[in-house]
Amino acid sequence: MKKLLSFVLISAVLFTSIFTLTGCPAPADVASHNLSKKADMFEIDRRIVFYNGITGQYMLELIGKCSLGNYDSNGELTVTCKTGPNTFKKHFLGLSDNVTYFAEQLDDVDASIYRYKVIFNPATIVPDVDLIK
């Protein structure tokens, strides 16, 4: 009986410790995640400037509803911008030891730290069907 009680007590302490240590993410982390998600859904206007760190010269500037590449390899960056209701442009940019970029969010955006939303892409739910006449 003592072994069972000890096991239950130790299990409860471990569970409580793990739950307490993992906890909830910080509000700043939640807001940052929500802003990144909104940018990936083309809801945020950005100004992205590429410049040469040695000369200080601006090389390129992109302004609009742009999403930065999420899984780009080292030395490159993709930027996808929404140019119309269903039109987009994708840019491939090479980064080096002297070329870097800065992305600025142009306007304030509501990004709640208390709730999230799930956005489904309709094209993944309803297939594109061609009707034969």
Q: What number is the average pLDDT over the span 96-123? A: 77
Q: What number is the average pLDDT over the span 89-111? A: 88
Task: Give the per-residue pLDDT at 126.
Answer: 64
Question: Is residue 78 assigned to a domain?
Answer: yes
Mind listing the pLDDT tens digit for each residue in 37-93? Answer: 899 999 999 999 998 889 888 888 999 999 998 788 888 999 999 999 999 999 999
Whole-Å CA distances, 9 to 17, 35, 72, 122:
12, 42, 48, 50
Nearest to 38 by CA among 77, 68, 79: 68
Question: Is residue 129 assigned to a domain?
Answer: no
Question: Is residue 130 assigned to a domain?
Answer: no
Mind listing the pLDDT tens digit for each residue in 16-45? Answer: 555 455 567 788 888 888 888 899 999 999
> Would the pTM count as exceeding 0.75?
no
Q: Would you say 77 and 101 are in contact if contact means Cβ atoms under 8 Å apart?
A: yes
Task: Give the per-residue pLDDT at 47.
Answer: 92
Task: Give the per-residue pLDDT at 122.
Answer: 63
Instruction: Quote the radius of gyration of the chain (alpha carbons, Å).
Output: 23
For the chain, the domain total comes to 1
Q: 110 or 82, which is more confident?
A: 82
Question: Is residue 100 assigned to a domain?
Answer: yes
Domain holding 63, by residue range, is: 41-109
Q: Is the pLDDT of residue 12 over 60?
A: no
Question: Is residue 94 assigned to a domain?
Answer: yes
Question: Is residue 48 assigned to a domain?
Answer: yes
Question: Is residue 121 assigned to a domain?
Answer: no
